[in-house]
Amino acid sequence: MDINLPDIVAEVGAAFDRYEQALVGNDTAVLDELFWASPHTIRYGLGENLFGIDEIRGFRTGRPNGDLARELGGTVITTFGRDLATASTLTRKTSSGKTGRQMQTWVRLPEGWQVVAAHVSLLDVPWAGRAQELA
C-alpha cells in the first residue's frame, strides 16, 4: 500500500481546507457536501454524539453560527492508497483561546472526498507547547 502519495495528500488537503473554510463561515451546504450522506456517518462533538447524516445536519442547523473563528496548528494528513485518509489537527478558538483537537476519516467516494467519521474535543491545556511544536 502506498502511504502519502503526494497527489493524494494534496487532494485531501484541499478538501480539508474547503471544510475548514465552510466550518468557520457556517456554510452548511458545503459541510453537508463534504460529509458522507449515510446513516453510517458518525460525528462525536464537544457535547454530542451524532449517528448518521440526519443527526449531523440537524446539529448544524441548530447550532449558534457566531464565534466560529479559530486557528489550526499541527495539522497532519495521512493517506493510505488513493481512497482513504485521516486528517488530524489542533485548534484554538479565537475568542476564548481554548485548545481543541479534531480528527476526520476521509474516503474517496463517487461524489468525491467525504468525511465518514469525525471527532472533536477540547483539551485542558494551553495553546502554547505541543501545538506550536507541530505547527
Beta strands in the chain (DSSP E): 42-44, 49-51, 70-80, 84-93, 99-109, 112-123
Domain ranges of the chain: 6-134
71 DSSP β-pair partners: 92
Q: What is the pLDDT of residues 28-49, one digit of tens each?
A: 999 999 999 999 999 999 899 9
Q: Report residues of the chain scoring pLDDT below 70.
A: 127-135
pLDDT at 131: 47
- The set of residues, in sequence order, having a beta carbon less than 8 Å from that of 59 and lying 6+ positions away, is 43, 45, 48, 50
The CATH-assigned architecture of domain 6-134 is Roll (3.10)
Number of other CB atoms surrounding residue 111 within 10 Å? 10
Q: What is the pLDDT of residue 66?
A: 72
pTM of the model: 0.90
Q: Looking at residue 96, what is its pLDDT?
A: 83
